[in-house]
Structure 1
Amino acid sequence: MKANLEKIENNLAILEIQVDPGKFEEAMEKSYRKNVKNISIPGFRKGRAPRKIVEARYGEGIFYEDAINFAVPEAYSYAVKETGIKPVDQPKIEIVQIGQGKPFIFKAEVTVKPEVKLGEYKGIEAEKIEFEVTDEAINKELEYLRQKNARLVAVEDRPVQEGDIAIIDFEGFIDGRPLEGGKNENYSLEIGSKSFVPGFEDQLIGVRAGEEKEIKITFPEGYRSEELSGKDAVFKVRVKEIKKKELPELDDEFAKDVSEFETLKELKDDIENKLKQGLEEISRSTLESTVINRAVENAQVDIPQVMIENEIDILIQDFSSKLSYSGTNLKQYLKYNNLTEEDLRNRFKDEAYHNVKRALVLEAIAEVEGIQATDDEIENKVKEIAEKYNQNPEEFRKKLGERQVEIIKDNIVMKKTVDFLIQNSKIKVKKQSKENETAGEQKDIQD
């Protein structure tokens, strides 16, 4: 087998690959055995006609298609390794020569990984913010725990107030027609949570249990559903029950009830440590993004369109998976938001471009700096993943394919490369207090 790299231009490589006559003959024989069972020739039982007889009757070309399919993948893989190119797409194949007793020659045109011209990536100036956990942040987290562990007590002697939980049935209408998805029963709505369309919750204040009320609202301009944006709607609402929260006292008993700690002080200390860890992760992540983005901005690379399209495919696949967790799918999302698949692809185009360029630049830096993943690092990572999924590390390692191990290796190299960039940056530390959002403030918005 021989391989010749003819040229690389505009990220396109053309390989001329030659397969020895004997090797191609093996592919022809394999093709014959695959197809002869479907061939009938007078004087022979079906599937028993000798190859020479079949070729004499139909021409030797009858077996070319499958022979090519058998010969090309192995020969192409050999040529890629021999020439050292890095394809990023499937090749286009052109047959140059084929025939008995002759070498099988074909050309493969393939898009290859582009060359990256690195700019400045050492000595990048960046700011790292060291967040300080304030008493207010700790108290907000404690308040969230109080709210989470509050008792709900039925209210019968007054109407709905701010902070109450109203148990309601409701149905929405636009122009007298029922609003799709705008009906629910026994829905628990916290008044003041701002989880419904603006104006909805405020109009329930003053309504008593058992009473009904028509609530008129206007969907905001730019609402996520274009069909509802700016539209007036009427909701028929029945308040079935009113409940209020009774909050527990902040004392040692509270700490015992909501945690593994014996005292309120121990609980506060634990909250403070967790907030510090979370804020440090935010600080580190922000610093990493800054340094990486600067290195990427300073580099030049002509990215093939196919790499961007492939990354868009990955982003859409991830997006589709997230939609499935929320009980919908991509087709429904597109219909609901009046989008086409092309619209969605365009939305992901910039992100895909940045992701591809980022990966190429980090890979180029790793290559220049000789950053690699050691066998021990790979094995330790495999062990870590196996333990995460409660699997035996040795058995898990055997199940991993070559591609999966390569992904683990690449991830280790990327992490070490980012660490290298951080270590070689000029970092100024800035202290800043940050009021951390409690889990209770990170709510899904019903509107």
Structure 2
Amino acid sequence: MKSAVETLNPTRVRLSIEVPFEELKDSLDAAYKKINQQVTVKGFRKGKIPARVIDQRFGRGAVLEEAVNDALPKFYTEAVNEAELNVLGQPEVDITELKDGETLNFTAEVDVRPTIEIPDYSGIEVEVDAVEVGEEDIDKAVEELRERFASTAPVERAAEDGDVVTLDLEAKVDGEVLEDGVASGVSYTIGSGELLDGIDDAVKGLEAGGEATFASELKGGSAAGKESEVTVKVSQVAKRELPELDDDFAQLASEFDTLEELRADSRKRLENMKQYDQATQAQERVLEKLLELVEVPVPEKLLEDEINTRKHNLEHHQLGQMGLDLEKYLEIQGKTAEEFDAETKEAAVKGIKTQFVLDELVNKEKLNVNQEELTEHLMRRAASSNMSPDQFAQAVVEGGQVPMLVGEVARGKALAVVVEAATVKDTNGEVVDLDDDEDEDETSTEASAESSAEGSTEESPEAAPAPEKTEA
């Protein structure tokens, strides 16, 4: 077999492959054997039909087509490996010449990873928010904790903002009561916005036993997005009572003996949260600066696949779980279809560029992923997927996704190398030391790399995809 590579553009090549006919022998034998098992010829036992009879009865062309389709993936893969190409996706194959007994010539056009030059990134500088926790932040955190320990007491008066009311609901669309539009004993805090639009105005001013009807667009269920007539009946009105902010509350709501100790712990927790957010912000901004420094051509077919994957995941997974379609989602977001398409393309381009650049950094810095790092990453991914580590690991192995997880960890490590070399200052002009909490920084770095590259449809470059069947 002979092969030659022609570069069509920075992300696409054409392979021209010549195969001597004798190298098709194994595939021809397999073709005759396969046809033998599929057809019946009078006078011959199944599986024992001579090759010349198959040629006469079914045509030599059918045999050649079967043999070529069997052989193409092997010869294509050999040519890819010989040329040391990092291919992406399926090739477009064209048989240019097939002479029975003489030769098989074909071409294969395929996308490849572009050659990327990583420049000196040590001069990257970014600015992040300063870690500042004021008394008002602590007041808010303690007040939220206080809200969680609120109690309710029934009152004999009209419902007001902040009251907890017990409701019976019935929703009608076009005069018909919906099967899933009836609910009893629903507890609702007036003003929380957790139920239907318009319900606050409907129940305020009602006492126990009071009833009202209002129009509202349903947010979920079988008639999601439709205008409905909702009847609401109040069975109880209760006033929320907050505990006093004192040492007794601290002992009730925490492991601390005094309110002062509780507030000090709240400050520490808020500082830790803001430090984590600061580290994530630094990594995202360093990544953006890095991408600005590198010229990364994006393969058109890969970009098209990436855009389609992102749209599919949004429509059939995320929106489906919320009972929305794309049209309703765009209406809620206040976006046109054109704006949505532009944003999706921009995100897809960034995701592909991020993978290419960080993968090149992995090679340049000779970064490896050990078993402990992979296990820690798997545990985090399992937690975010609401699966046990064992369930997630089994799904990853069965789906052949282990290389994908290894790539995620490696890209996270590559981004960490760049962040470490960058200068990060807060809005007060102070240099930020991101090494204070190495474990949290590593976690957020991986998250930044994953979110930027999320949804990538890129094929692994380590195994050349086989071409699809082609008519001989």
TM-score (norm 1): 0.77
Between the aligned partners of 1:235 and 1:409, the Cα distance in structure 2 is 52
Aligned residue pair count: 410
Between the aligned partners of 1:13 and 1:133, the Cα distance in structure 2 is 56
Q: Which amino acid aligns with 2:200?
A: E
- Does residue 414 of structure 1 match 2:428? no
Contact 2:319-2:326 within 8 A present in 1 as well: no
SS of the equivalent of 1:207 reads coil
Between the aligned partners of 2:44 and 2:397, the Cα distance in structure 1 is 48
Contact 1:120-1:295 within 8 A present in 2 as well: no
Between the aligned partners of 1:126 and 1:399, the Cα distance in structure 2 is 36
Structure 2: gaps of 5 or more residues: 219-223, 332-336, 383-387, 430-472
What's the counterpart of residue 164 of structure 1?
163
1:43–1:204 distance in 2 versus 1, CA, 3 Å = closer
- Does residue 9 of structure 1 match 2:19? no
Give how far 1:127 is off.
0.8
What's the counterpart of residue 41 of structure 2?
41
Alpha-carbon displacement from aligned partner over 1:209-263 (angstroms, at most 9, x marks no partner): 11123447899xxxxx9977xxxx8654322211222333445554555455566
What's the counterpart of residue 284 of structure 1?
279
What's the counterpart of residue 302 of structure 2?
307
Between the aligned partners of 1:198 and 1:60, the Cα distance in structure 2 is 72
1:69–1:253 distance in 2 versus 1, CA, 3 Å = farther
What's the counterpart of residue 190 of structure 1?
189
Q: Which amino acid aligns with 2:417?
A: F
Contact 1:130-1:429 within 8 A present in 2 as well: yes
Between the aligned partners of 1:235 and 1:57, the Cα distance in structure 2 is 73
Between the aligned partners of 2:14 and 2:408, the Cα distance in structure 1 is 30
Between stretches 353-362 and 316-325, larger displacement belongs to 316-325
Between the aligned partners of 2:378 and 2:257, the Cα distance in structure 1 is 35
Q: Which amino acid aligns with 2:407?
A: D
What's the counterpart of residue 106 of structure 1?
106
Between the aligned partners of 2:327 and 2:415, the Cα distance in structure 1 is 40
Contact 1:226-1:337 within 8 A present in 2 as well: no
1:137–1:179 distance in 2 versus 1, CA, 3 Å = farther
- Does residue 361 of structure 1 match 2:357? yes
1:397–1:91 distance in 2 versus 1, CA, 3 Å = same
Between the aligned partners of 1:101 and 1:381, the Cα distance in structure 2 is 55
Alpha-carbon displacement from aligned partner over 1:130-173 (angstroms, at most 9, x marks no partner): 312233323322222222232232222x1101210122234567
Measured on the aligned residues, the alpha-carbon RMSD in Å equals: 3.9
Between the aligned partners of 2:287 and 2:371, the Cα distance in structure 1 is 27
- Does residue 295 of structure 1 match 2:290? yes
- Does residue 245 of structure 1 match 2:237? no
Between the aligned partners of 2:34 and 2:255, the Cα distance in structure 1 is 68
Q: Which amino acid aligns with 2:138?
A: I
Between the aligned partners of 1:199 and 1:429, the Cα distance in structure 2 is 44
What's the counterpart of residue 423 of structure 2?
426
1:243–1:22 distance in 2 versus 1, CA, 3 Å = farther
Contact 1:160-1:208 within 8 A present in 2 as well: yes
SS of the equivalent of 1:300 reads coil
Between the aligned partners of 2:410 and 2:244, the Cα distance in structure 1 is 51
Q: Which amino acid aligns with 1:371?
A: E
Query: Which of the residues 266, 269, 272 maps onto 1:274?
Result: 269
1:178–1:117 distance in 2 versus 1, CA, 3 Å = farther
What's the counterpart of residue 449 of structure 2?
none
1:358–1:265 distance in 2 versus 1, CA, 3 Å = same
Between the aligned partners of 2:268 and 2:103, the Cα distance in structure 1 is 70
What's the counterpart of residue 470 of structure 2?
none
Alpha-carbon displacement from aligned partner over 1:102-138 (angstroms, at most 9, x marks no partner): 3433211112223446677441221132312233323
Between the aligned partners of 1:22 and 1:61, the Cα distance in structure 2 is 17
Alpha-carbon displacement from aligned partner over 1:384-437 (angstroms, at most 9, x marks no partner): 256666668xxx6998489634323322332222222222323223359xxxxx
1:70-89 superposed matches below 5 A: 70-89=70-89
What's the counterpart of residue 95 of structure 2?
95
What's the counterpart of residue 381 of structure 1?
373
Percent identity, aligned pairs only, is 26
Q: Which amino acid aligns with 1:425?
A: A
Between stretches 199-208 and 277-286, larger displacement belongs to 199-208
What's the counterpart of residue 212 of structure 1?
211
Alpha-carbon displacement from aligned partner over 1:177-217 (angstroms, at most 9, x marks no partner): 67989955333321122445666414532221111234478
What's the counterpart of residue 131 of structure 2?
131
Give how far 1:4 is off.
1.7
What's the counterpart of residue 442 of structure 1?
none
SS of the equivalent of 2:291 reads helix
TM-score (norm 2): 0.73
SS of the equivalent of 1:427 reads strand
1:92–1:291 distance in 2 versus 1, CA, 3 Å = same
